[in-house]
Amino acid sequence: MLEQAKLIEFIQRGDESGYLVALESNKEIPFEMKRVFYIYGTAEDVVRGQHSNRKSEFVLVNLAGSSKVKVDYGDKEEIYLLDKPNKGLYIPRMLWKDMYDFSSDAVLLVLSNEPYDADEYIRDKQEYYKEIGVLK
Ligand code: TYD
C-alpha cells in the first residue's frame, strides 16, 4: 500500500497589513530539506511532472496563483488544488504526479529531501505500475 499525499495547512503569521509563513525541516516540512526549485511561466494546457520518484519526497506550495496536482496511486487517482501560499501538498516517494491547470501568475515552490538525481525518476507509466506491483 502506497503512502498517501497529504495537504498541510501552514500557520499564516501577521495580520491584514501583511503575512508570513515560516517552514523548517522536520517541523512544518516532514523531512530534512535538501533542494528547492520553483516552476513559473507555465503555458496554458501544459502538464508538468508526469513522473514518479523512487527517492525524493516533496512539498509543493503555490506561492502565487494556483495549480492542480493529480496523484495516481495505481488503484485510484486524487486531485489536489493548490491555491493559497499557506497550503502545501506533501508527496511521498513512489507516487505518480501530474501538475496542470497553472494560472498565468502561478509560482509553484517545490521542496525536497533529496538533491536532483535524474536516475531516480520513473518517466514511463507502465514501468511505474510494474514497480508498484499494479497490473494494468
Ligand atoms: P523536469 O523534471 O523535466 O521538469 P518537469 O517534469 O516538471 O517538466 O526538469 C526540467 C529540467 O530541469 C531538466 O533539464 C532537469 C532540470 N532539473 C534540475 O536540474 N534540478 C531539479 O531539481 C529539477 C526538478 C529539474
pLDDT tens digits, residue range 83-94? 999 999 999 999
Q: Say which residues have a Cβ less than 8 Å from residue 102's Cβ, sequence separation at least 6.
A: 39, 42, 44, 46, 48, 65, 66, 67, 108
**pLDDT at residue 135 greater than cutoff 90:** no
Q: Whose CA is nearest to atom 8 of ligand 1?
A: 48
Ligand 1 close to Cβ of residue 38 (< 6 A): no
How much is the pLDDT for 116? 98
What atom of ligand 1 comes closest to residue 99's alpha carbon?
7
Q: Is the dihedral of CA 41, 43, 52, 1 positive or negative?
A: positive
Complete domains list, the chain, with CATH: 6-11+22-132 (2.60.120.10)
The question of whether 51 is a catalytic residue gets the answer yes
pLDDT tens for 24-73 read 999 999 999 999 999 999 999 999 999 999 999 999 999 999 999 999 99
Q: pLDDT digits over 79-128, tens only?
A: 999 999 999 999 999 999 999 999 999 999 999 999 999 999 999 999 99
Identify each DSSP E strand in 58-115 by its residue range: 58-64, 67-72, 77-82, 87-91, 96-100, 107-112
Could you tell me the pTM of the whole model?
A: 0.95
Residue 74 in this model has a pLDDT that exceeds 90: yes
Q: Is pLDDT at 12 greater than 90 in this prediction?
A: yes
Residue 55: CB within 6 Å of ligand 1?
no
